[in-house]
Amino acid sequence: MNLATNLKRKKPDLAVLPTVAWMGEDYEGRGAIVWCKTRGQARATAAAELDRDFREVVSCRRYPQLDGFTGNLRRWQLSHGWRWECQKCGLPCYGQEVDQELDPSITTVIDDDDHVFCSIEHCREYEAYWGLHRAIDRAILGDYRAAHPGVVRHGEYFMAGHNEWFGWVDTPNGRVTVWEMVSVHQQSFFVPRHLEHGAAP
């Protein structure tokens, strides 16, 4: 009897997250740090992070300095030479690197959701714009719940959204229109030629 064939393979603990860091890079030079057990898993995960097809990740290599990393990745990247685009205007943003003297020309700001901005002004403008839209969505959801009391059951997910025509709530049973947005369009009225300048009909 071959003892090797009777050895049971230990089942992986799905609750334990991989701590091995990889960096995947696409053909435009954009990179993503991911933690996976194998290169293939890392390449697929990096493709998803970069919103690319698996084949468009042209490079996937180990990034051992971030093995077991538990901090704020975006802040770490900005302090180690990585570049991000401003969430509002798209300008490149660089962070203050840890081993360099303070550079007053670097005005990069990161908000609580890890969005990167080139200035505090753009951060405030972005927050004001999306804050307004979030307030509209909350109002739509509030009106939906008021019109359908008791419909929200434990564990069910409801999400409100809107565009220039409708305000809706996505429910487990489908999309429900709550508001119909009203857009005011300027209409031009033309005076018939025979009535111009007080002319007699």
Give the three-class secondary structure for 79.
coil
pTM: 0.64
pLDDT, tens digit, 9 for 90 and up, residues 99-132: 666 677 778 889 888 899 999 999 999 999 999 9
Put the strands of the sheet holding 57-62 in their side by side order.
Answer: 31-35, 21-26, 57-62
pLDDT of residue 66: 92
Question: Residues 152, 167: contact at Cβ < 8 Å?
Answer: no
38-67 pLDDT tens trace? 999 999 999 999 999 999 999 999 999 999
pLDDT per position as a tens digit, 61-98? 999 999 988 888 888 888 888 888 999 998 988 887 76
